[in-house]
Amino acid sequence: MLPRRHFVRSYETIVVLDAGLEEEPIEQEVNAIEQIITSHSSGEMVDTERWGNRKLSYEMNDKRQGYYTLFRFNSEPDVLDELTRAFKLNENVLRHIIKRVKQHQVANQIEADKQKTEGKES
């Protein structure tokens, strides 16, 4: 049997946290997620976007709002299992999704986001 080869790939993860949390616990949750990603030798954070509180499409765990955060990172696939496990065990995480993206898509999206931000400031 051949050994499994792992390649560093690009991912995006959107995490919806309980909007009822204060600012400090939200910051701790975001830092904990980033720590899981970067604790692996191949884990590298590319970008973290805090979208803030938004109305949920439907009620989850008797909550009508969630605090959305987008994480863009590069890592080997094995970090995904650890992230998923951490999300499922954390009561403050209402929902999450992890998506593999092509590296050039990540760079293009970050550039587009920067241009949008610069356009709003002008």
Q: Which of 77, 78, 94, 86 is nearest to 34 (CA)?
A: 86
Q: Which domains does the chain have, with CATH numbers?
A: 9-121 (3.30.70.60)
* DSSP annotation of 77: T
Assigned token pair, 98: 């992890």
Q: Work out whether strand 9-18 and strand 93-101 pair parallel, antiparallel, or are unpaired.
A: antiparallel
Alpha carbons 26 and 19: distance in angstroms, whole number: 9
Q: Which of 113, 119, 13, 7 is nearest to 71 (CA)?
A: 13
Alpha carbons 13 and 68: distance in angstroms, whole number: 10
For 62-116, write each residue's pLDDT tens digit.
889 999 999 999 999 889 999 999 999 999 999 999 999 986 665 666 666 666 6
Alpha carbons 75 and 60: distance in angstroms, whole number: 30
For 9-62, write each residue's pLDDT tens digit.
999 999 999 999 999 999 999 999 999 999 987 889 999 999 999 999 988 888
